[in-house]
Structure 1
């Protein structure tokens, strides 16, 4: 009999700051960042199969089933566990591709967490994080399951206390390919490393996003959204873009800014507000 688990969140993340501190011999960039989980994201639905097939039952524009991180995550777990079970997976896609919100990585993490539970494959959190790293540098963070200070290529994680606040996020209507940002010759790659103890718990204005200068030059709509949002606070870009955000300590302040975005009449901008959360909603499936 099929086991099902519906309405499984794949939350968005913000990079509260993102510093590029160097580059390894293999070309990967060394980073420092603060990851913040939000109560906004995609929603996935799972049903096990006895025939071993992995199927994505929802069409996702621009993402063929075979290359979808959801399907790749399920097949990776299936192969590593040698389970004979399969799964049907549906997704309510809310997060944009190329937005810097970790949408694909979060979907993959949720898939690993939920199927590990439904298939009873028995991997612990650390083992799932190691699997997730094979799919993308941000996947381990979502399995880690709490706000984090990250180093290395993003896989070295430590718990981080972050401010409780609301965020207004603007999707400026463009996708920023990560490879294009990191390969740009004008990217700063020598920001001085910071320590986790440098991060002020009560502040949202720490550091900067080293990728922002490149992204705003390559994609003017990002610069336009940033300029507009900065009239309300310390707006900045998340990840390699294209989404930009600003923090507010009161929901009514965020709501006022959200209404102001919508009153601009820009047809290319999509905006929403979200509350910070401390832990991934599915963390309980992996225990402590």
Structure 2
């Protein structure tokens, strides 16, 4: 059994720096192009090992039954794939909003897979863990690999990218967006012409979910407009409901964060091409 710590494991947020949909598979899943980058901000997970084989969560999450909790599902998937006899109790200290487009649940699942792989002494490869993660959600593999990536397919085909790591202000207007609602909206653009990394670098990309989210959620439209006015740039992450803007100057980001309307929440974070989870695991 590994001697790595049981507590304080990061489950970082991600941003989709753009999001295009290039088609749809026969099973209904959308074919995507996106760039994922991590933030040095997110949830934190603690693990308590058990000898009785049970997989439990230490506290309930609002509106999430235990059988739907991604950390519990991730631990059970790993346990069943390896026939590991032991168990675990998982505590999730949430900072990332549900339905915010920041990948909180997927990141929690990936942290569970990677940390338990070490705590349980299983020695699965990152590719094997990512394959397990894909069964839990399309975003889980990028969190498992822990490196900023160009993503295609349903999000499972990843190519490492080395991009700028600016400071971001992330604004949460307090609206939870269900991905399925956006992906099933008849107004969603699903026929984007495939682009290349050079198109992303030149800025010739967008988030095709934004018009639909703006139409359905006026609060998010207001947050995007507010950010654009204050920062000169604003974009939706994933299917929402958080908006973000990038800054070269951290002081400017913090200054604008202080001006947030009282009904909204927000945070300033650094973009990371290497996940904080990946960095911490590398120390052991």
What range is the shorter-chain TM-score in? over 0.9
Aligned residues: 280
Structure 2 residue aligned with 1:224, among 222, 225, 229? Answer: 222
TM-score by length of 1: 0.93
Q: Equivalents in 2 of 1:41, 1:217: separation in Å? A: 28
What's the offset of the Cα at 1:144?
Answer: 1.2
Structure 2 residue aligned with 1:282, among 248, 271, 277? Answer: 277
- Is the 1:17–1:206 contact (alpha carbons within 8 Å) kept by the matching residues of 2? no
**Structure-2 residue corresponding to 1:179:** 180
What's the offset of the Cα at 1:160?
Answer: 0.9
Q: Equivalents in 1 of 2:163, 2:240: separation in Å? A: 21
Q: Equivalents in 2 of 1:13, 1:26: separation in Å? A: 26
- Is the 1:2–1:48 contact (alpha carbons within 8 Å) kept by the matching residues of 2? no
**Structure-1 residue corresponding to 2:45:** 44
What's the offset of the Cα at 1:138?
Answer: 0.2
- Is the 2:12–2:40 contact (alpha carbons within 8 Å) kept by the matching residues of 1? yes
Q: Equivalents in 1 of 2:277, 2:161: separation in Å? A: 18
Q: Equivalents in 1 of 2:214, 2:36: separation in Å? A: 21
Is 1:272 matched with 2:270? no
Q: SS at 1:282's partner residue?
A: helix
**Structure-2 residue corresponding to 1:248:** 247
- Is the 2:150–2:161 contact (alpha carbons within 8 Å) kept by the matching residues of 1? yes
- Is the 1:164–1:249 contact (alpha carbons within 8 Å) kept by the matching residues of 2? no
Relative distance call for 1:206 and 1:165 in structure 2 (3 A) is farther
Query: RMSD in angstroms over aligned alpha carbons?
Result: 1.7
**Structure-1 residue corresponding to 2:208:** 210
Unmatched 5+ residue regions in structure 2? none
